[in-house]
Structure 1
Amino acid sequence: MAQIDLTQKLVQQLTVIYQDVEAVSDYEGLAQRLLTEMRTAESFKVPEPFANHWSEKDVVMITYGDSVQSEGEKPLQTLQRFMTTFTDDTINSVHILPFFPYSSDDGFSVIDYSSVNDGLGDWQDISDIASERKLMADLVINHCSSRSAWFQNFIKGEGKGHDYFFTASLSDDLSKVVRPRTSPLLRPTETANGLQQVWCTFSHDQVDLDFRNPEVLVTFVSIIRQYLDAGVRIFRLDAVAFLWKIPGGPCINLPHTHEVIRLLRSLIEHTVSDALIITETNIPNSQNLTYFGNANEAHAIYNFSLPPLLVNALITGSCQYLKRWLMSMPPSQNGTFYFNFIASHDGIGLRPAEGLLSEQEIYTLVNTMQERGGRVSWRTGEQGEQKPYEINIALFDALQGTVDGEDSKGLERYLCAHAVMLGLEGVPGIYIHSLIGTRNDYDKIKHTGQNRSINRHNWQFNELEAVLSNKFNEHHKVLSRLKALITIRIKQAAFHPNAVQFVLHLGSKLFGFWRQSLDRKQSIFCVSNVSNEEVPLRLSELNLVINNQWWDLISDNEIADISAELPLKPYQTVWLSNKI
């Protein structure tokens, strides 16, 4: 009976997706094909509604498959060795960025979804990593490589993929299409069926798929099943906001896109109950929040507004914008969570700051990051103007100073940023180059000609092992102090991703919030001095329960007098917890 209910649910979802597509009418037959591709019957289980398949122990390291290399060893095996050596006791999950054969964009232009890039390793290496920790993988679902067999068949007009791609007419009104890039939207392509204008949201090597063709959906469901078999348990839907297009409008965040995500969730969670979907939607905050649906769409969304707002707070010494944003954020329902990060393989996205930072604040942020050696990537605005899209910079360099210039407090400022992130509601993700304090890689920019390469350094394992073993080296200091914070975090019930969170009002220099465990036994007051001067924290303003013992988890100091003032050094964070 439950499997019949799932089939009926899929039929309803397919009806919503394809109701305007005349060529699709047999929704029940299509639903059965999807269930067959997913092999749902083999492990069918009705998912528990609003279940949290995560806890305070979950911390994700984000990395490329070849971020750490060793001569004579497959990079995925070297990565496994790095994690076993340096993170096993603290980080239980890993997001390996696209590990498939690709033609550009460091993996996000996939040639073959069914293969592992042989320059990295093979499926056995992926499964070995998945057997040791939770594995997140990218489902690059909006587009694929122009060098893929699918697109070559599109050009030939025959074979699998010949009808997989979205085309438009030069007479279509494309003036309202939202673009993350400045390149022309349409790519003229000679095919066996004549000249076609292929839709390219990102680049002309990244050709957009046409989900109006249900064969595209069926193919991606089969890909999901293959990844599940390899041990993938978290699916990152890359650039999914652009999935469905209707010329004449913005072609982003369309209802069909949301329904496709809901359908994929239905299939995945009825097949492997603890497998998750996270949507990568680098868009304004209010739009990003819609991808939770009613706890029936993405299990998690990226907290894209956090990086620009947190960096802004730390370079200006004022948390007013960060605090205002956090106050506006709804708590995640059970069954969903925020994915928090402050650095990534791309950069500090600026679209998620739109409407949260003024245009002047954004340009101050951009200018300050350029002074720290950063680069800027641009997009085309609605009126055809060039607007900053993201800042490309290594986070360690980004926080080596303020709007007033570089100073000596970079390490403490950097640790403060991570202490804030680690305390917030949600699951933290830490980019490997943030974990070890990698600096701007200007040589790689020269080699690739791409701004994003500045934060995509490739380490040699022996070199990295040497610097991480030297207690006087800044990379060792970063890793050891971040691991100390993570070690504390993963032991606190009040840091459960869905534990209660309230923003504290402590002025512009002290950023604070209160967390309470789901069983209400533990409270943690997280307070960070985001300025470069000492600021007193008046403990009386926190309303600490008088008959409890209070402790700063970070310094391991007891709070003897809860009515006193606690001086916070520049960029110092305290996690004040009751003894339980």
Structure 2
Amino acid sequence: MEEAAPLSQLEQRLIGHLQILYPHLDAGELTRNCLNTFGLDPKTDSPKPHRNIWDQSDIMLITYADTLRKDGDTPLNTLHDFVKTELSECISVVHLLPFFPYSSDDGFSVMDYTSVNPSSGKWRNITELSQDFKVMGDLVINHCSSRSMWFENYKAGVEPGASYFYEADPNADLSNVVRPRMSPLLREVQTKNGTKYVWCTFSHDQVDLNFENPKVLMEFLRIIRLYLEKGIRWFRLDAVAFLWKSPGTSSINLPNTHEMIRLLRLMIEHYAPDAVIITETNIPNRENLTYFGNANEAHLIYNFSLPPLLINTLVSGSCEHLKDWLMRMPPAQQGTTYLNFVASHDGVGLRPTEGLLSEWELDNLINTMKRFGGKISSRTSVTGEAKPYEINISLWDALSGSVSKGPDQWHFARFMCAAGIQLALEGLPAFYIHSLFGTENDYQRVENTGHFRSINRHIWNVDDLEHRLNTPTHHQKVFHAMRNLIQIRRAQPAFHPNATQYILHTGNKLFAFWRQSLDRRQSLFAIYNITDEPQSFNLAELNLIATDDWTDLITDQKYEDRMAQVTLMPYQFLWLANKKSKAK
């Protein structure tokens, strides 16, 4: 009798994950199914661990496929043309928010994971974009649309779909389940097999998938393989913290969720060693950090505490909480880093402020954002109370003034100060497309859709946008300033996402930190006045190396007197470096 061939390292690792996820099934057979479904040779070499698949030149753009529209053109083609023409020296990664046919939530209620929404374009447009930029796609993995073929099949009792959705007993103890929304958790559904209750973490149009069924895993492996074949290399795992459910628990951040992420990363990076996994987990900071695993889960995690803390810093005039949070943040291991964003298609999440802002400070921030035209979305807490979940507002309007004085003359300076901090912190910066234009709150879109999040999802006619970018408007001023700042940043080794960072003790009115390149050749001090009054400091406080020449990268001003006092105007900042690298 012939002996079975020894298992490869990949097969052994897959079996380990699958035995944990599906202990009652044959892990060997599941492993063969996974490899066959993914088209992966079991002898494929493993990529080296702890590789940084990025450097200081990597900047991400976050956008919907149809944010830019032009008569007679498909939105994806319009977007590609605009980014290639206007942003090729600024952007390396394009995050395309869900571009599939959908039924609600601007794309996050996916009806068909395998096709591009015809109103946006075709797969050819995605592939062409991937030839000029790295493309990140959304893997909306927790739920799909109640109007999808899968859910129609579920109601009819046929596969694929009959066993794909998570059912729960309405009499079970669900009191500990963490909710991001106000709607009831369970939805009653009439099916061929009688009345069922399906789990809906977000809305009743977004029905949660049941990953306890390995058929669901196989479906997503087929979907991921398709995305890889179309040129997508960066994967955003949407709402992944809620993936695994268990009545009687919080049903968030469960161990099997982490196990599933490890399995998906194993498969994806063996198929494409340059692939990147990003987890979208809008949760308190300590929980969010667990998604790095041991550098074997997410390559990048969203720095969800940054948006509320940075906005709070700039409207309150105190960096106390931003500074304290960053001082406690662990440096990311090589091969992992933070995704630094301040605005996105969603609102400013408030759960990530838990344990960081007091209730009084949070109320003050919320009330200020309301004064600047923002809306507040709520969720149901485990005690059944309505709690603020996120602030819905454009970043331009969020930074229009201060807590104490309201809108003021420092609007633009405050906005650019936020960008200056975002670009300089440890991690990879991600800019929502509207932050590059200074787009205002879109109240008409809120009225049209009935959803607060629409306030920051404006649709631009590209001809109108280009007119504004070429005439004296605040849009033009923001766009040119942002492009200039990003280009300076992309050239500096000290801004590598994994370069050393050390927060400086300069009081609460000046926010400052030190970065040093991985080869230790470039040192850079980033100093920000985060108030609406001039602030001074002495260069002696920075311990500048005496043998080096120090220059502000932004203004090219040299600082030769190491004892000089420097005064920063409201929201002015310096990037003081011993070496200046120029963009290639």
Instruction: Give the Cα separation in 1 of the matches to 2:397 and 2:369.
Output: 9
Tell me if 1:46 matches 2:46. Answer: yes
- 1:243 matched residue in structure 2: 243
Which amino acid in the other structure matches residue 573 of structure 2? Answer: T
Task: Please give the secondary structure, in 2, of the residue aligned with 1:40.
Answer: coil
Q: Could you say if the C-alpha distance between residues 328 and 259 of structure 1 is closer, same or farther in structure 2, counting changes exceeding 3 Å?
A: same
Could you give the per-residue CA deviations for residues 268-294 of structure 1, whole angstroms, max 9, x where no partner exists? 111100101000000000000000000
Q: Give the distance between the partners of 2:460 and 2:6, measured in 1 at CA.
A: 50
Once the two structures are superposed, residues 18-52 of structure 1 have per-residue CA deviations (whole angstroms, 9 ceiling, x without a partner) of 23xx4xx2101111111112112299332011001
What residue is the counterpart of 2:377 in the other structure? 377
Q: Aligned equivalents of 2:147 and 2:42: distance in 1?
A: 35
Distance 2:500 2:214 in 1: 42
Matched to 1:445, the amino acid is: V
Contact preservation (8 Å) 2:143, 2:209: yes
How do residues 20-419 of structure 1 correspond to structure 2 at under 5 angstroms? 22=24, 25-41=25-41, 44-404=44-404, 405-419=406-420
CA contact (8 A) 1:77 1:125 kept: yes
**Is 1:14 aligned to 2:18, yes or no?**
yes
Question: In the aligned structure 1, how far is the partner of 2:253 from the partner of 2:36?
Answer: 29
- Larger deviation, residues 63-72 vs 44-53: 44-53
What is the RMSD of the two structures over their aligned residues, measured on CA atoms? 1.1
1:440 aligned to 2:441?
yes
Identity of aligned residues (%): 55
Q: Which runs of 5 or more residues in structure 1 are unaligned?
A: none
Equivalent residues of 1:56, 1:497 under 8 A apart? yes
* 1:550 paired to 2:550: yes
**Residues 89-111 of structure 1, C-alpha deviation per residue, up to 9 Å, x if partnerless?**
11111101000000000000000
Q: Could you tell me how far apart the structure 1 residues matched to 2:565 and 2:307 are?
A: 30
Matched, 1:422 2:388: no
CA contact (8 A) 1:45 1:273 kept: no
Distance in 1, Cα, partners of 2:285 & 2:550: 36
> Residue 186 of structure 2 contacts residue 198 of structure 2 at CA under 8 Å; is this kept in 1?
yes
Instruction: Give the corresponding residue for 1:466.
Output: 467
CA contact (8 A) 1:140 1:239 kept: yes
Cα distance in 2 for partners of 1:208, 1:214 equals 15
SS at structure 2 position matched to 1:428? strand
Q: Secondary structure at the match of 1:41?
A: coil
User: SS in structure 1 opposite 2:41?
Assistant: helix
Q: CA deviation at 1:199?
A: 0.2
Residue 2 of structure 1 deviates from its aligned partner by: 10
List per-residue Cα deviations over 1:183-237 (Å, max 9, x = no partner): 0000000001110000000000000000000000011011100000011010000
Structure 1 Cα separation of the partners of residues 395 and 480 of structure 2: 17
* SS across alignment from 2:266: helix
Q: Partner letter of residue 420 of structure 1?
A: I
Q: Which of the numbers 8, 31, 40 marks the counterpart of 1:4? A: 8
Q: Residues of 1 paired with 2:210 and 2:458: CA distance?
A: 34
Query: Which amino acid in the other structure matches residue 408 of structure 1?
Result: Q
Report the counterpart of residue 500 of structure 1 in structure 2: 500
User: SS at 1:331's partner residue?
Assistant: coil
State how far apart, in whole Å, the 2-side matches of 1:317 and 1:488 are.
26
Q: Matched residue of 1:85: which SS? A: helix
Partner of 2:8, secondary structure, is helix
Which amino acid counterpart does residue 314 of structure 1 have in structure 2?
L
In structure 1, give the amino acid aligned to 2:150.
W
C-alpha distance in structure 2 between counterparts of 1:477 and 1:537, whole Å: 29
Contact 1:45 1:271 in 2 (8 A): no
Q: What is the rounded CA distance, in whole Å, between the counterparts of 1:394 and 1:359 in structure 2?
A: 23
Give me the whole-angstrom Cα distance separating, in 2, the residues matched to 1:421 and 1:45: 37
Q: TM-score, normalised by structure 2?
A: 0.97
Query: Residue 475 and residue 495 in structure 1: after superposition, are their counterparts in 2 closer, same or farther (change >3 A)?
Result: same
- Per-residue CA deviations over 1:277-318 (Å, capped at 9, x if unaligned) read 000000000000000000000000000000000000000000
Deviations 1:69-88 (A, max 9, x none): 00110000000111022101
**Counterparts of 2:143 and 2:476, CA distance in 1:** 39
Q: Which runs of 5+ in 2 are unaligned?
A: none
- 1:450 match: 451
Checking the alignment, whether the CA contact within 8 Å between 2:10 and 2:42 is kept in structure 1 is no
Alignment length (residue pairs): 575
What TM-score results when the alignment is normalised by the length of structure 1? 0.98
Residue by residue over 1:241-273, the C-alpha shift from the partner in whole angstroms, topping out at 9 and shown as x without a partner, is: 000001001000000000000000101111100
> Secondary structure, in 3 states, of the residue corresponding to 1:437?
coil
Q: Could you tell me how far apart the structure 2 residues matched to 1:574 and 1:171 are?
A: 60
Judge which range, 100-109 or 88-97, deviates more.
Answer: 88-97
